[in-house]
Amino acid sequence: MKNNLLMSNIWKILFLAIIAILTYYPFAFLLFTSFKDLSQFYHNFWTPTFPLRWENYYNAWLAIRQYIFNSLIVTGVSVAGVCIVASMSAFIFARYEFPGREVLYFMLLILIMIPSTLTLVPSFVLIRNLGLLNTRWALILPYISGGQIFAILILRTFFSSLPEELFEAARVDGATIWQSYSLIALPLSRAVLGVVAIMNTLNTWNDYIWPSVVISEDSLRTLTVGLAYFSGQYQTQYGPQMAGYVIASIPLLILFFLTMREFIAGLTSGALKM
């Protein structure tokens, strides 16, 4: 019996190992090609070669650092905006009774069902008419507006679950709404806010279609758009090209290993929204 179990474990591991190799081989290939010059690439296609051509990384970095910087700014401001705006609304919807509460909440909820395909074209014309084409606001404002919806949903559930006594006591002591929000609700919601932040970071960082439409100026391009452009520039220079892809993957990898638990939660809930 014991032997049987062990044998079946070995078959399972073998199966998973094959899947893992098939999954990871392109990334491994990417990694070692990123260190090759053209002659190394053509003479030793399948395996790593030495010496490592670090200058590929230097050249790629020069080409895409501005894009990474732009993505960091846009993502940072958008995510902070989502956290602030969404937590304020979610707090109100969770803890207060007021005229119009149901209607207003429904007005937000229904937006989850609207596919982005519908609003892509009019949103572009709107941004153009507002004179925001080729500015970071063309990205940040719609990202905050769109990102807050699902964030409000998650945060409202969390704020509703907090015990009423906390807020009751504050109210008796004469605390204002702002004080209840900023001194009680916000500090307690750090973990949930973390998940919301990561979810929005992923969506913002990886978005391609929208920035490709509203940003055409090279110095403002975000990483996804810049990378597509960069790969056209370095068409057959595989070394620097692949080095650029590796560099582009590093920021999220760092974030992942720093915040694994929240990251996976953010990944799952982020994918659940449509």
**Footprint of other proteins on residues 211-250 (CB under 8 A)?**
213, 223-224, 227-228, 231, 236, 238, 241-242, 245, 248-249
Alpha-carbon separation of residue 44 from 23, 35, 52, 166 (angstroms): 22, 12, 13, 66
Which 25-44 residues touch other proteins, going by CB under 8 A? 26-27, 29-30, 41
258 scored as a contact of other proteins (CB under 8 A): no
Alpha-carbon separation of residue 39 from 54, 131, 149 (angstroms): 15, 49, 52
C-alpha atoms less than 13 angstroms from C-alpha of 224 in its C-beta half-sphere: 16
Among 126, 183, 188, 191, binds other proteins (CB under 8 A): 126
Among 20, 62, 169, 191, binds other proteins (CB under 8 A): 20
CA 224 to CA 68: how far, in whole Å?
9
Which 151-170 residues touch other proteins, going by CB under 8 A? 152
Handedness of CA 203, 209, 214, 216 (dihedral sign): positive
7 scored as a contact of other proteins (CB under 8 A): no
Which 57-96 residues touch other proteins, going by CB under 8 A? 84-86, 88-89, 91-92, 96
196 scored as a contact of other proteins (CB under 8 A): no
CB 213 within 8 A of CB 124: yes
CA 113 to CA 124: how far, in whole Å?
20
Among 6, 103, 172, 258, binds other proteins (CB under 8 A): 6
Please say which residue, 61 or 124, places its beta carbon nearer to other proteins: 124
199 scored as a contact of other proteins (CB under 8 A): no
CA 125 to CA 249: how far, in whole Å?
32
104 scored as a contact of other proteins (CB under 8 A): yes
Number of residues that bind other proteins (CB under 8 A): 93
Among 149, 155, 184, 193, binds other proteins (CB under 8 A): 149
Query: How far apart are CB 225 and other proteins at their closest, in Å?
Result: 8
Q: What is the DSSP string of 85-127?
A: HHHHHHHHHHH---TTHHHHHHHHHGGGGS-HHHHHHHHHHHH
266 scored as a contact of other proteins (CB under 8 A): no
